[in-house]
Structure 1
Amino acid sequence: MASCAEPSEPSAPLPAGVPPLEDFEVLDGVEDAEGEEEEEEEEEEEDDLSELPPLEDMGQPPAEEAEQPGALAREFLAAMEPEPAPAPAPEEWLDILGNGLLRKKTLVPGPPGSSRPVKGQVVTVHLQTSLENGTRVQEEPELVFTLGDCDVIQALDLSVPLMDVGETAMVTADSKYCYGPQGSRSPYIPPHAALCLEVTLKTA
């Protein structure tokens, strides 16, 4: 017996350039999948941000911590400034003969440009003579003598040529450059006595 179903009419052909319906369904499925992936990524980003500690408001830096204009320049200039020269060390003793038995130390230097006397020149000194224990045995405010003529003890003859006019110096001398084993009666100097001489060269 013949079927009662009516044969379906063939569908009308699609206009040129229009894709079939099956293609639209596939594209819709792809778009839905991409949308779900984007939503998942956004949720993951939100979860990551929620795990971070809350941001603190640092505010303005304290006034003392703020960089002051010109501070670096001042520090650089301060570093470039030369260090102050050290104070000159006090003059040490001059070992006149190199044996430690006759030494000279300047107490008051002579004025700038002053000269030194030479052998054979007449000089005037202010002399104060003391023993090693500090006992003063002689003072001559105006002692005049000729250098190198043995008019005075060797300690004076050897030390005064190393002084400037106007200079005051301390001279320590062993007895061999003073009065030796005999000593002296006037002024009284014991035998073998070392002496301390404070000498001021007044004129030369």
Structure 2
Amino acid sequence: MHFQKSVDTTSREEMIAFLSGHFRYDTMRAWNKCQSYALNVKVHRLGLSTEQCSKAYDILQVEGLWESLNECIHEFEQEHEGRFTICSNGRSSGYLVLLQSEYRLTGHQSYCRSCYQRNFKLCALNDNRCGRCGADGEKGRVNYQTPPKELVTHHAGIDEDADFDEWSLEQLQDRVKLVDGFDKACDQVRERFIDLLSEEIVEETFYVPQKRMVLKSA
């Protein structure tokens, strides 16, 4: 464990010390004046060797890096039924911050099986033509069996003005469990990042098709 600490959840004093002494950071920018539990995950704070640090700065430039790291965060979200999530913040995304969140229905009722365009209307019985790509029939729109949801993040502070001395033992235990889980998830993100350091970084060239207007002789 790098970030996660052992906390005696039978001791009020130890739990209060853990919560009140935990590092905190802005939930958005300094101007919103809201802070929550956080961890500094800049490269030099990850406990890496000199060789690993050199590779780490290179791998931070790799496209899609966060997609690999987000698996740990998604597990944390599922564990808390979407009520909490973890987001990066800071000028160089060098901090992971605990935030409140919730699942909300997107309002989409159907989608196209060809281009995957989503639609806010249900498919008519004999008309499932996609307005975007024109597909219909077995390749056209179909209604969702389960309405899709999305995770909405709230940037309000957490426990900014909390007087932990007034909290019950159960309240303290619940909050310590949450923050300890946050620390554990950040450890998992760190471990996943270290695993990626063993991968080879290669540079590839790709071309993006673009349309342009040109003059054509008659």
Larger radius of gyration: 1
Q: Smaller-chain TM-score range? A: under 0.3
Q: Which has the higher contact order (CA 8 A, sep 6+)?
A: 2
TM-score (norm 2): 0.25
Q: TM-score, normalised by structure 1?
A: 0.26
